Structure 1
Amino acid sequence: MFGDMMGLMGKLKETQQKVEETKKRLDHVLIDEKSTDGLLEITLTANRTIKNISISDELLKDKEMLEDYLVNVLNKAISKATDVNEAELAAVAKDGMPNIPGMDMFK
């Protein structure tokens, strides 16, 4: 039993390292989102760090419209980035979890 526990601890440590490596890799996965009319474009990483915002001159003339565009496009981009982030981390965690009956946490 002690050997099994040591093997489990080693597997968990390996999984933790893979999770950290995945988080670093996700800093380089870019998510692009733009408004339907293309007046605002946003790029962020899968770790949800904003890398670029491109605003058309037309939007700069209307503060309220620009604010609405920013909220809408940022929310879409963050949602996409979150989906990518969670899927990647769940895949790593599932791969590293020991096969314990009744512990199907990542289906």
Structure 2
Amino acid sequence: MFGDMMNMMGKLKETQQKVEDTKKRLDTVLIDESSNDNKLKITLTANRTIKSIDINDELLEDKEQLEDYLILTLNKAIEKATKVNEAELAAVAKEGMPNIPGMDLFK
């Protein structure tokens, strides 16, 4: 029994390291999103750090329109990045979890 516990603790530590490695790797995964008319383009990492924003000069003439574009496009980009982030981290966590009956948390 003690050996099983030590084995589980080792596996848990290994999984924690894999999660940290995955978080670092997600800093290099880029998500691109643009407005429907391509007047605004945003790139962010899967960890939701904004890397670039490209704004068409036409949008600079109307502050309210630019704000609307930024809100809509940033929210779409963040939603995409969050899905990628959660899927990657869930896959690593599921891989490292011991098979305990009734603990199907990551199905």
TM-score normalised to structure 2 length: 1.00
Could you tell me which amino acid in structure 2 is paired with residue 66 of structure 1?
L
Structure 1 position 14 matched with structure 2 position 3: no
- SS at 1:44's partner residue? strand
Match runs of 1:76-95 below 5 Å: 76-95=76-95
Deviations 1:35-63 (A, max 9, x none): 00000000000000000000000000000
**Considering only aligned residues, what root-mean-square deviation do their CA atoms show, in Å?**
0.2
Could you tell me which amino acid in structure 2 is paired with residue 75 of structure 1?
N
Aligned residue in 2 for 1:104: 104
Deviations 1:7-57 (A, max 9, x none): 000000000000000000000000000000000000000000000000000
Could you tell me which amino acid in structure 2 is paired with residue 67 of structure 1?
E
Shift of 1:100: 0.5
Number of equivalenced pairs? 107
Aligned residue in 2 for 1:2: 2
Partners of 1:94 and 1:29 in 2: CA distance: 21
Structure 1 position 61 matched with structure 2 position 61: yes
Could you tell me which amino acid in structure 1 is paired with residue 80 of structure 2?
K
Deviations 1:64-91 (A, max 9, x none): 0000000000000000000000000000
Question: What percentage of residue pairs aligned between the two structures are identical?
Answer: 80
Partners of 2:105 and 2:22 in 1: CA distance: 20
Identify unmatched segments of 5+ residues in structure 2: none
Aligned residue in 1 for 2:25: 25
Moved over 3 A (4+): none
